[in-house]
């Protein structure tokens, strides 16, 4: 019987990593970075809950950093086996892992400056360029829908997951694993894309499994129905209205997939004759490199409304790499559509473009992605008027607009359809890569649809299961577990930031200085009371 442990992405959407131990091999499916609040990020620095040297190979589902971002650390700690991935995932990782390493190196440098001033010990980066390169050297390309055998008695086959370029679900058979010689059939969904998505066909995989591990990011979210055309029309309206205000339109965007979807759709809108006189800038060195991979594979992309030769190209588009060119963009007063990373505005060149544009009422900030609580993007989304960027205060006077239909994830009904199409599921269905609300909601609906509730598992962080031929038995948490059994989605740092905002708002809206003083006295007394108790 095989043993499956959820080393990440259980009760949360980051740090995806599942460990499998079979009679013949020990291996991992994904090894992602934990992202979010400080408590979650701190998990990246804890030792792995297994010995990396003992892991014999790895199956990667796709390039996103929450599925691959700890691979260089794993290699640094002694993992030396082949890492299987699709060819395009490997091409993306060539940039993503190097970019991840330079972020880790500069984070460590910045922290060490602070630590030096405070007389605290210096820290090492989570991993370095050298580790990223060592990880890249282990990557082995595999084709969709072709079996390969990474170890004795184990066969693996990738299926299109429709999530991002190169994304896959991994089907797996483990033969001679159970007492009666039963062959275990497993399926790891990876992240699943929506049905309506430019570039990729709908997600696909066979039916009939013993066990399925399925993501549940949007297990509790129903998107309004949309077509690619309808979504494009909504984008067109925002861009036309935005430019008509007489300023620029700034769009924070993820470098992989979202930026290219926007460029494609804007290309179609320009072809329709709209956005006259406007220039579209993609200002992110990483997004530029990723866009070049899309251009390379343009002929294989699905649902294109443009000729592959025109994709992201032409005299209305500028893909910016140099710092000087990026800085010059800050002087452009109007008619610029600026797409830049990061998608949640918490780092990268987007911050410079926000500094140049958010205080101008004729400009527009168009949000096209999820803004995690506490990020600069979430403050802009809330319409907070006083924004701090790079230590300076800015008044938010630009129009803030939002488009909700750009997502690389299947929503609730699409997840349900994908799961139902995979049935029968004999042993059990594990819901991972989702917050607990999402997983519970999805479990309830699946039970209503006739899937045995007893066989829908909501694994805890670090929980292990024995996969028998007909049912999974929880073995509890791995004894080498990292500190906690539940990753908090809202930790004390989030609470502190929210409290700070609430306090500023209360003080600003108070009727008089006496009132303000009263508020502060109340807090002061509460703190004194707390210390004494």
Residues that bind Zn ion (CB under 5 A): 64, 191
CB 86 within 8 A of CB 142: yes
Closer of 188 and 465 to Zn ion (Cβ) = 188
Closer of 177 and 191 to Zn ion (Cβ) = 191
| Rounded least distance, CB 259 to Zn ion, Å | 15
Is residue 14 helix, strand or coil?
coil
| Rounded least distance, CB 456 to Zn ion, Å | 22
Closer of 338 and 415 to Zn ion (Cβ) = 415
CB 199 within 8 A of CB 312: no
Closer of 13 and 337 to Zn ion (Cβ) = 13
| Rounded least distance, CB 64 to Zn ion, Å | 4
Q: How far apart are CA 146 and CA 161, in angstroms?
A: 15
CB 157 within 8 A of CB 145: yes
Q: How far apart are CA 463 and CA 474, in angstroms?
A: 7
State the DSSP code for 200.
Answer: S
| Rounded least distance, CB 69 to Zn ion, Å | 11
Closer of 64 and 289 to Zn ion (Cβ) = 64
Closer of 191 and 196 to Zn ion (Cβ) = 191
Q: How far apart are CA 257 and CA 259, in angstroms?
A: 6
| Rounded least distance, CB 91 to Zn ion, Å | 16
| Rounded least distance, CB 294 to Zn ion, Å | 16
CA-based max dimension of the chain = 79
Give one DSSP letter per residue of 376-440, joined into a string.
HHHHHHHT-SEEEETTEEEE--SEEEE-----SS--HHHHHHHHHHT--EEEEEEEESSBHHHHH
Closer of 191 and 238 to Zn ion (Cβ) = 191
Q: How far apart are CA 23 and CA 174, in angstroms?
A: 9
Count CB-CB contacts under 10 A for residue 53.
12
CB 137 within 8 A of CB 129: no
Place of tokens 């066979």: 206
| Rounded least distance, CB 257 to Zn ion, Å | 9
Closer of 236 and 433 to Zn ion (Cβ) = 433
Closer of 30 and 131 to Zn ion (Cβ) = 30
| Rounded least distance, CB 309 to Zn ion, Å | 29
Classify residue 469 by burial, with Cβ atoms within 10 Å: 0-12, 13-18, 19+: middle
Return left, alpha or beta for 6; rule: phi > 0 is left, psi -120 to 50 is alpha, else beta.
Answer: beta
Q: Identify the H or E element spanning 472.
A: strand 472-477
Closer of 64 and 477 to Zn ion (Cβ) = 64
Backbone angles phi, psi at 441, to 5 degrees: -60, -45
Backbone angles phi, psi at 481, to 5 degrees: -55, 155
| Rounded least distance, CB 348 to Zn ion, Å | 19
């Amino acid at each position: 019987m095989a043993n499956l442990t959820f080393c990440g992405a259980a009760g949360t959407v980051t740090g995806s990593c599942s460990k499998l131990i079979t009679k013949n091999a020990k291996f991992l499916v994904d090894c992602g970075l934990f992202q979010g609040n400080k408590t979650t990020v701190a998990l990246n620095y804890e030792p792995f809950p297994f010995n990396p040297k003992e892991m014999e190979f790895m199956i990667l589902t796709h390039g996103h950093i929450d599925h691959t971002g700890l691979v260089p650390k794993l290699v640094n700690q002694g993992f030396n086996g082949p890492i299987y991935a699709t060819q395009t995932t490997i091409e993306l990782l060539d940039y993503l892992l190097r970019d991840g390493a330079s972020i880790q190196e500069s984070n460590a440098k910045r922290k060490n400056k602070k630590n030096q001033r405070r007389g605290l010990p210096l820290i090492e980066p989570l991993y370095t360029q050298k580790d990223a390169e060592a990880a890249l050297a282990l990557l082995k390309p595999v084709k969709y829908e072709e079996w390969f055998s990474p170890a004795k008695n184990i066969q693996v086959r990738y299926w299109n997951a429709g999530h991002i370029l190169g994304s896959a679900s991994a089907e797996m058979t483990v033969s001679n694993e159970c007492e009666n010689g039963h062959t275990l059939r497993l399926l790891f969904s990876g992240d699943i894309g929506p049905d309506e998505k430019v570039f990729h066909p709908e997600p696909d995989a066979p039916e009939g499994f013993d066990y399925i591990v399925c993501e549940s990011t949007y297990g509790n979210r129903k998107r309004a129905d949309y077509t690619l055309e309808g979504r494009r029309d909504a984008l067109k309206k925002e861009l036309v209205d935005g430019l008509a205000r007489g300023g620029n339109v700034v769009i924070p965007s993820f470098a992989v997939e979202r930026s290219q979807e926007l460029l494609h759709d804007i290309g179609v809108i320009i072809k329709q004759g709209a956005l006259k006189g406007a220039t579209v800038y993609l200002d992110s060195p990483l997004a530029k490199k990723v866009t070049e991979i899309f251009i390379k594979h343009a002929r294989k992309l699905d649902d294109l409304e443009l000729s592959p030769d025109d994709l992201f190209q032409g005299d209305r588009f500028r893909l910016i790499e140099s710092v000087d060119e990026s800085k010059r963009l800050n002087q452009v007063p109007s008619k610029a559509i600026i797409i830049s990373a990061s998608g949640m505005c918490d780092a990268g060149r987007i911050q410079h473009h926000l500094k140049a544009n958010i205080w101008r009422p004729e400009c527009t900030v168009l949000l096209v992605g999820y803004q995690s609580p506490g990020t600069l993007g979430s403050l802009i989304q809330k319409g907070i008027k006083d924004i701090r960027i790079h230590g300076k205060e800015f008044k938010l006077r630009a129009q803030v607009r939002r488009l909700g239909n750009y997502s690389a994830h299947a929503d609730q009904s699409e997840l349900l359809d994908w799961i139902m199409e995979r049935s029968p599921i004999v042993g059990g269905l594990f819901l991972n890569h989702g917050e607990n609300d999402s997983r519970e909601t999805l479990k309830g609906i699946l039970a209503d649809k006739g899937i045995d509730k007893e066989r829908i598992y909501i694994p805890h962080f670090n929980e292990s299961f024995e996969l028998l031929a007909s049912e999974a038995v929880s073995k509890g948490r791995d004894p080498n577990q990292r500190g906690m059994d539940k990753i908090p989605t809202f930790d004390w740092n989030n609470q502190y930031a929210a409290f700070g905002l609430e306090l500023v708002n209360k003080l600003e809206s108070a009727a008089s200085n006496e009132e303000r003083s009263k508020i502060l006295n109340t807090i002061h007394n509460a703190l004194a009371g707390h210390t004494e108790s």
